[in-house]
Structure 1
């Protein structure tokens, strides 16, 4: 279990999290604000379904699958949906359900049979879908992961209902907390509509049909439960202001996990806790991390718009009416930092090698607003900026542009400059020779 952090990522006060791994990131950039054991590979259980959601929403966006598309339930899947040891909604043999209803069951109730149904809709078979999951993880830049099913169950639970599984009979999905946070980051950035479903505390599956089922979201941080309050009257202690996602998960192997996301006043954070001790503990630990985030971090302007780097405020220009051009940043650079940390960063200017010659000169004409390079920021101390995604790192770059026009000089001026340079070089050579005589 995690004790007090000895080497926090930032200057904010350390926190004590009781979990095998944890991480906190800024949802806009993916900047890591706190982590402990975040590169350790652990079981993820039903947090797996975030990948299934990503692939589903992508398939919907690309028109490969439609929300009103129907799926007809097989006897095997129906039997699994009635397994009382698993989280499910009941699916009737040979009954048809829409992708929209199955997706809601997966996202809210964490229904496992409904999740497999979605996998079959998209990929034909569970095995094909698992292949897609691993390929998508690689595409998203994840590094430490292995998917063997679409649900997050241990394979032995799958084998109770299906003759074959991907991987070993007792295997289940694993990831690092860093990659779980990266997956959540991509899911929210690419498909923000995921929060419309993940924020629903209760809903009715297949409403108006004989299969109607009350679904309770396993995320007790949400407010607005009615049915759950009957069995867990004290759940209100876990409700967290601004929380609207994202996914819980638990197995004997993985422990109790939670990927949470909350927004207040336009600032969103993502947290992950893995292998906590109980169903309620994961929300207690998440509250600690989120309080730490909202109490200590805020978006600050590190570099203003039209910023000029000291000693690099201009770039020399050849063949122009002016011999240099003023340059500055096109936009400001904003970063989520802890209080007083703004001064820990320094700007770094990188000129476009395709725009400048070997002497570091631009060639006229140069247009106002023309990109001549970019500016990024680096930490002054030994700590490097950490991001869960390269895409987030790139957000710390802003274009550096020309602040004014530099027209190309006419042929006569260029010729006279050339003559001047020639005689200047000639006179310099003669002077050197004469000096050598004495």
Structure 2
């Protein structure tokens, strides 16, 4: 009987599968070629517009340069106090006042920390190339590292052509090998948000510098003012903003990867080629549209516990077991299932239990012995009647472990033999009963 019960459970589970994610329509209108809002801890997408199309990213490219720099420091390939001698190429780029720069003197040493602060706060292009040269020896080799790291991180729809995000025509004819003279780095909004999330996860110290509104750079007149004007004290100040990277070129328009935290929720926003209400590419546009996204996320979403720890699924509080002292084992969730959802919708979710088929035999039944707390599946949730935008990682479903509540020891040979004998006579009796019924 327990084998039949096990097969029934498997059949039930096979039809309770999470649907393919589809991008939901929303009344939020963002004036940008692409836009996304993501809750960081889960990767849950709260809003999406054209997020898988590769578009110009301009200086948002520098987030990949930052990632490789932090990684090189962690691996002790370079250090914060290491001095980098400025090459003629870096010097020539750095003195171009049409670009975002701090002047760097050829042949003079600057520490990696100085160069990084200029990159993170003022988006200094010469300083960025200097860091690339310090890590890889040349910008050409560094660009290869950038694309390899993007693949390693699982990014899609991207192409890095230099370390800065400038159009290659701004690089004085010395653009990296293998790239064209007018090429520019591109990436999708999804991948841009994914890179930002990975950067903050692996190197959270990035926010210590990206959150600095102004800073002095050596003996230069005046201060570097952060291009992220949503920081405290700047023109478009927004509560909780502490990063991350702007980007502006003619090709990319005005773009911005922002991040902000309120209470226990951190979000990432990306706008690409954002425009203001008059249709102009402007700071009012990129920061105004970012504010719109942040207002929407913080006002409408929060982290909610959908199913508690030790939750027992109705109708599936146990699973059948073969070769055990007991013929079934109780199951429940190991941890609570928490989701980022729209306020007021926490009761609109149904549980979705997915059994671990690797733990089942050919008849679809667990086999003893089983340990207490052994994982036998996962529990997720699907919202009734609604589609949403899914997660940064395509195909990802947020779940918690479903585990056994008790151990099941393997039955000894005598018990198993008697069960087999009992099953044999039970089958004979059932056949005889059916035959007698057939007579009448």
The 1:15–1:385 alpha-carbon spacing in structure 2 relative to 1, beyond 3 Å, is closer
Residues 274-423 of structure 1 aligned to structure 2 (within 5 Å):
274-276=272-274, 277-381=281-385, 383-390=387-394, 393=396, 396-423=398-425
Report how many residues are paired. 413
Aligned to 1:168: 180
Scaled by the length of structure 2, the TM-score of the pair is: 0.88
Q: Distance in 2 between matches of 1:158 and 1:204?
A: 26
Aligned to 2:149: 136
The 1:111–1:78 alpha-carbon spacing in structure 2 relative to 1, beyond 3 Å, is same
The 1:76–1:16 alpha-carbon spacing in structure 2 relative to 1, beyond 3 Å, is same
Among 192, 195, 211, the alignment partner of 1:183 is 195
Q: Distance in 2 between matches of 1:212 and 1:358?
A: 76
> 1:122-151: per-residue Cα shift (whole Å, max 9, x none)?
122111111111122122222111111110
- Give 1:306 shift: 1.4
* Contiguous gaps of at least 5 residues in structure 2: 1-21, 275-280
* Contiguous gaps of at least 5 residues in structure 1: 1-7, 226-234
The 1:383–1:163 alpha-carbon spacing in structure 2 relative to 1, beyond 3 Å, is closer
Q: Distance in 2 between matches of 1:64 and 1:304?
A: 46
Aligned to 1:151: 164
Scaled by the length of structure 1, the TM-score of the pair is: 0.88
Contact 1:314–1:324 (CA under 8 A) maintained in structure 2: yes
Among 31, 47, 50, the alignment partner of 2:63 is 50
- Give 1:204 shift: 2.3
Among 83, 91, 95, the alignment partner of 1:82 is 95
> 1:222-280: per-residue Cα shift (whole Å, max 9, x none)?
1146xxxxxxxxx2xx1000000000010111111111100011111111111121123
Q: Distance in 2 between matches of 1:285 and 1:436?
A: 77
Q: Distance in 1 between matches of 2:221 and 2:425?
A: 94
Contact 2:37–2:268 (CA under 8 A) maintained in structure 1: yes
Aligned to 2:49: 36
Residues 241-256 of structure 1 aligned to structure 2 (within 5 Å):
241-256=239-254
Contact 1:317–1:324 (CA under 8 A) maintained in structure 2: yes
Aligned to 2:115: 102
- Give 1:70 shift: 1.8
Q: Does 1:222 align with 2:214?
A: no
Q: Distance in 2 between matches of 1:81 and 1:144?
A: 30
Q: Distance in 2 between matches of 1:328 and 1:70?
A: 57
Contact 1:297–1:336 (CA under 8 A) maintained in structure 2: yes
Q: Distance in 1 between matches of 2:310 and 2:422?
A: 36
Contact 1:333–1:398 (CA under 8 A) maintained in structure 2: yes
The 1:360–1:281 alpha-carbon spacing in structure 2 relative to 1, beyond 3 Å, is same
- Give 1:211 shift: 6.1
- Give 1:434 shift: 5.0
Higher relative contact order (CA 8 A, sep 6+): 2
Q: Distance in 1 between matches of 2:430 and 2:24?
A: 57
> 1:362-398: per-residue Cα shift (whole Å, max 9, x none)?
122222111111122234336255111259x35x121
